[in-house]
Amino acid sequence: MLNSKIAEIIKEKISQDNFLDLEEFLKINLYEKQHGFYNQINNSQKKLIGANGHFITAPEISQIFGELIAVWLLDYFYKSDAKSINLVELGPGNCTLINDILRVINKQKEKAFKIHLHFVEISPELRKIQRLNIDHHEYKKNWYKKISDLKKNLSNLPTIFLANEFFDCLPISQFKFFKNENEWKKKCVKVKKNKFYFDYISLDKNDKNLIKEMNLNFSKIIKQNQVIEYSSMTTDIMLQIVDIINDMDGCALFIDYGKNNPFGDTLQAVYKNKKVSLFNKIGNCDYSSLVDFSNMKTIAKKKGLKVYPIISQRELLLRLGIKERAENLAKNATTLQKRNIFSGVERLISKIYMGEIFKAFCITKNKHKVIGFI
């Protein structure tokens, strides 16, 4: 099932140059103003996030996930001298994570913090849901379509960024090395007999410079048909985040499924929690790829921030006490509730589910040691 409107827009774009960059193809699918996936999705019946939606995230699997992130935040708060902070979440989904975090924070009486909540969300439908889901929290709240708008409106306070399964959904470019031709080429989308297909085109000057720069950071042997993925949107967002942290102090915690290099073809389409062909559900499916944390790490280091080693989600949650929290929750639970508690924990930390493929990445301005990464 295609979104015919999006398909026609893509065909029109292809007709102009006989091809469309993969990154532009993904941007149109996801963000086109009227018919893009994130702008036309109806979340009122849980059609985006959750067991009945297109994908399910860690906060939806278990409340313990958000509670442990709250513990991480509180530890950072207590080590700082801040009385007020900006708390920013990128792509908050149903606001399940922030609800769990605020529930824990609201119970703390040892030290009072004034929190200004900020959300970066491109989807108007999701923004409606988010406003409803956190309306009961008495904090100042602001929403922005893009991070550049956020930057203009932040109070000059220490700023903490959170993002869970945000960067994996950003559009990417793919480059393939053809060893026989000794040449990198860029992946694009073409159309023939009304069907879409992938092809490769020669690099322009900017792409050549990008590949040259990326290769300087990696000594991996270039193999025949080696693929490199790069997200210009991730780079742009990271540059703005590190500038904000440098200017205002603060930190960032990003959890996503990814790796510590740019190599490999990891692009996939997801429709109703199942992988589908990249062209079968155009305009009606989400696209994601493994996050290249090495690029994010390089950006933060160049800007002088403290960059902690990238660890697995399993390692972070175990260090934050996920098993102990599950045991405490289970004490007063019914048999069914206990089963759900421990099955949720298993999904979050098991190596065959989310435990290893999901990574945790942390950067800070100050020298406070953050729990979970030391």
Q: What is the DSSP string of 145-203?
A: SSHHHHHHH--SS-EEEEEES-GGGS--EEEEEETTTTEEEEEEEEEETTEEEEEEEE-
User: What amino acid occupies position 232?
Assistant: S
As a whole number, mean pLDDT of residues 27-32 equals 91
Q: Give the Cα separation of 298 and 205 in Å (integer).
A: 22
Q: In angstroms, what is the C-alpha Rg of the chain?
A: 21
Contacts of 362 (CB under 8 A, 6+ apart): 251, 252, 253, 254, 307, 308, 370, 372, 373
Does the pLDDT of residue 149 top 50, yes or no? yes
Tokens of 48: 């985006």
User: In the structure encoding, which two tokens stand for residue 343, read together?
Assistant: 């099955």
36-54 pLDDT, tens digit each: 888 776 544 445 554 454 4
> 90 versus 284: which is more confidently predicted?
90
- pLDDT at position 110, please? 62
What is the DSSP code string of 224-282? TTEEEEE-HHHHHHHHHHHHHHHHH-EEEEEEEEEESSSBS---EEEETTEEE-TTTTT
Q: pTM for the full model?
A: 0.91
pLDDT at 3: 57
In the predicted model, what is the mean pLDDT of the chain? Answer: 88
Residues of the chain with pLDDT > 70, as a percent, come to 91
The pLDDT tens digits of the residues spanning 294-311 come to: 999 999 999 999 999 999
**What is the per-residue pLDDT for 90?**
97
Domains of the chain, earliest start first: 38-171+230-364 (3.40.50.12710)
The maximal CA–CA distance of the chain, rounded, in angstroms, is 67
Q: Identify residue 129 by its one-letter amino acid code.
A: I
Q: Say what the pLDDT of residue 325 is.
A: 92
Residue 219, pLDDT > 60, answer no
pLDDT digit string (tens) for 86-105? Answer: 999 999 988 999 999 999 99
Least Cα distance to 31 among 145, 132, 147, 130 occurs for 145
DSSP string across 324-366: HHHHHHHTT--HHHHHHHHHHHHHHH-TTTTTTTEEEEEEESS
